[in-house]
Amino acid sequence: MDFIKDFNIQLSMGEENTLLGNLSMEPSLLRQIIETQEQDEELQKCYLKAQENNDPRWDVGSDGGIRCRNRICIPNKLDIKQAVLNEAHRSKLTIHPGRTKIYQDVKRHYWWNNMKREIAAYVAKCLTC
């Protein structure tokens, strides 16, 4: 999976023929999560709570993503969860951590219902671990 896929490059000429550039990158997984959040009914209820400030746990980030206690909310969609877990478990930097380590790593940035149980089940299926 390509972690960073989309590039936005802007070039312009400044004073005295100097070239000014701006490069911005957006993580494709994060964009995919935010787009999928719009289709999840439960997360849309949380979005309304965040907009109305009824529940301090929920907020909406500057990228439009719904967050629970500053962690991006993962929609209840298997392919999105699998992508997050694959990135956390099989990347070249993590090299198959056990269920406790992967849970600690994932919960730093993401949230979904039954996350700990689903991570344990995911790691239990890994033949390398």
Phi-psi sector, 88: left (phi>0), alpha (psi -120 to 50), beta: alpha
Task: Establish if 8 belongs to a structural domain.
Answer: no
Task: Establish if 11 belongs to a structural domain.
Answer: no
pLDDT in tens, 53-70: 778 899 999 999 999 999
Task: Establish if 7 belongs to a structural domain.
Answer: no
CB 65 within 8 A of CB 58: no
Residue 66 is part of which domain span?
21-124
Structural domains of the chain, count = 1
Please report, for the domain that includes residue 61, its CATH number: 1.10.340
Count of positions (residues) in the chain = 129
Mean pLDDT, residues 23-38: 82
pLDDT of residue 12: 63
Task: Establish if 55 belongs to a structural domain.
Answer: yes
Task: Establish if 85 belongs to a structural domain.
Answer: yes
pLDDT of residue 111: 97
Which of 12-21, 39-48, 83-92, 120-129 is modeled with the greatest confidence? 39-48
Distance CA 47, CA 56 (A): 12
pLDDT in tens, 83-128: 999 888 877 666 777 889 899 999 999 999 999 999 999 999 988 7
Task: Establish if 1 belongs to a structural domain.
Answer: no
Which residues make Cβ contacts (< 8 Å) with residue 45, sequence separation at least 6? none
CB atoms within 10 A of CB 41: 8
Task: Establish if 16 belongs to a structural domain.
Answer: no
